[in-house]
Chains A and B, each alone.
Chain A
């Protein structure tokens, strides 16, 4: 039975979460970053036994559930107050990143067209999920998908370590740090992790910003599918693509945010929900850590990594400058 197959791995995630929490309390370090580190150490040190793999792979489910629950802690007034500006920054930075990666990949470094598009989607929208979504729409080759995904994962690992340091060095406010991480880092898990590692408020802003960026994936897939269909070697796009690629847990997040703003939850219930998502994030980040395989990262191509690094530097520094002016 499927559930029985998942149980050992889910149990391992729970154990890892408890260990990360316990160690974080006794060492005085951030529990989310410790959870990721734990996953990295285990997977690269002793490896993950095959019977745990399918259960550990559920970590994205727990991350999604945690994000849904976070909706109950969101201050809708604050979102409405600054949300418009944040969304404009999201659109501007995503567009800029996409254009920079495409230009560098095609015109400066001469990468294959589709590989450039996969890197652009991964860097500008939502990491590996965007790479996979665009790959399906543009009929990319398997090795191009693997290459682009490895490049995104490499920068996920780097940004998890670097963003908190930069945030502390520059003494960024929670709002600026959260939005900056949400608008410029690649995958959702690392964004949520560094956001909450900075502060609760930074975590909420990082997640909300990243969710609005993720919601753009349908548009990007549709645009790429249209472009490659016109050149005669891609799948024909449809408006249905927009909904198919939309991250559905955003619906749950918005529903809980609406219920919360209507005053449906008591203070005690909100605290319990907050604790629940903290635990779900810990489970998710132990699993996320197991995906960072140092051996795989070493196999990333130098040129694609260089292209993505340049675009990350441009998008990251410009967005930070913009956010410091706006907030």
Chain B
């Protein structure tokens, strides 16, 4: 699929993201990090 083909999907995602309350956005960001760490055994340095 060309980049143009992905554009509507990307716009839908960003639209839905913007419509979310900031607190729920925080929950999603946290959830995504946990999912990445759990699924890929990601080692985050400190």
Contact = CB atoms under 8 A, between A and B. Distances in A.
A252 B45 contact: no
B38 interface: yes
Contacts of B34: 69, 72, 256, 273
A68 B45 contact: no
Interface stretch (A138-146, A156-164, A243-251, A304-312): A243-251
Given A61-B25, A268-B41, A276-B44, A68 B31 contact: yes
Interface residues on B, range: 20 to 34
Interface in A62-104: 62-69, 72
B8 interface: no
B21 interface: yes
Given A69-B33, A69-B34, A272-B37, A252 B18 contact: no
Interface in A262-301: 264-265, 268-269, 272-276, 278-279
Nearest to A60: B22
B24 interface: yes
Given A248-B21, A273-B37, A68 B26 contact: yes
Nearest to B26: A64
Interface of A: 1-3, 60-69, 72, 247-249, 251-252, 256, 264-265, 268-269, 272-276, 278-279
Contacts of B29: 61-62, 64-65, 68
Given A65-B30, A69-B30, A248 B24 contact: yes
A275 B23 contact: no
A1 B38 contact: no
B39 to A, nearest CB: 10
A67 B27 CA distance: 9
Contact of A268 (B21, B24, B43, B46): B43
A2 B14 contact: yes
A65 B14 CA distance: 18
Nearest to A250: B23
Contacts of B42: 272
A69 B34 CA distance: 8
Nearest to B37: A272
A63 B38 CA distance: 21
B30 A269 contact: no
A256 B21 CA distance: 20
22 contacts: A61-B26, A62-B26, A64-B23, A65-B27, A65-B33, A67-B26, A68-B27, A69-B33, A69-B34, A248-B23, A248-B24, A248-B27, A249-B23, A249-B24, A249-B30, A272-B42, A272-B43, A272-B44, A273-B34, A273-B44, A275-B44, A276-B33
Contact of B22 (A61, A252, A279): A61
